[in-house]
Amino acid sequence: MSRHQPSRRTQFDSAGGPRYDGIDDETLDDDSADGSGSLKLRPSNSNVTEDLEPFMGVKVRRKASRHRDYVGDYLDVQSRPYLMKILEKQGDRKVLFADKVLKITGSGKMKRRTLLITDFAIYIVDPDTDVLKRRIALAAVERLCLSELSDNFFAIIIPTEYDLLMASTRKTEIVTVLVDATKSASDYELEVSLSNR
């Protein structure tokens, strides 16, 4: 006998044997006709994938993340004079959100950018050269598109200009800040759509 094979077989009596959760008498066949006394598992009538289908592929949110306090300014804009100079030149003072993001260009290149959201506008700043690349008024934003997957991509749709595709680990906070800022500046509520296109 090979040393990798067990020397004995364990046999269970089907009448007095242990009960396991999820296995009922309908799914067990007693195959004692051949004298081996083994039990065989046959498929049941319930389809588990149909029962779980609404939750397949969608990330379930943890209870601890429902009441998260957002910091907003992750870069401490007040201590960066070049960012304060850009904001003062445009007439903005209050920063609602500031963080580093990845901007995806039309050709598919990823570029590091600093995203600033104020009461009235969205600012895209190049962190290497400290130059303002783009300013988008919140009134010009039509809607936000989010990916249903946990890939951190979101798009800002601007009908009068070209759209903006970005990736950030703080995607939900950015969307929350943009919706709240738009609602407080005007009675218009920003449309948020979920799609994978």
Contact 7, 1 (CB under 8 A): yes
The 10s digit of each residue's pLDDT in 120-162 is 999 999 999 999 999 999 999 999 999 888 889 999 999 999 9
CB 134 within 8 A of CB 124: yes
Q: Cα–chain-centroid distance for residue 154?
A: 10
Q: 136 forms bridges with which residues in the sheet?
A: 122
pLDDT at 189: 87
In this structure, are residues 111 and 165 in contact, taking their beta carbons and an 8 Å threshold?
A: no
Q: Cβ(168)–Cβ(101) under 8 Å?
A: yes
State residue 32's pLDDT score.
52
φ and ψ of 174, to 5 deg: -60, -45
pLDDT at 97 over 60: yes
Between CA 152 and CA 149 the distance in angstroms is 8
**DSSP-derived pairing of the beta strands 95-104 and 191-194:** unpaired
Q: 186 pLDDT band (50/70/90 cuts)? A: confident
The residues, any chain, with a CB within 8 Å of residue 129's CB and separated by 6 or more, are: none
Position 89 confidence tier, pLDDT thresholds 50, 70, 90: very high
Checking if the pLDDT of 185 tops 90, the result is no
- Count CB-CB contacts under 10 A for residue 167: 15
> Residue 111: its pLDDT value, please?
97
- Whose structure tokens read 């690349």? 133
Highest mean pLDDT among 19-28, 54-63, 151-160: 151-160
Q: Are 181 and 139 in contact (CB under 8 A)?
A: no
Higher pLDDT, 58 or 122: 122
Q: What whole-number distance in Å separates Cα of residue 178 and Cα of residue 160?
A: 18
Average pLDDT of span 34-61: 52
Closest CA to 196 of 156, 162, 143, 145: 145
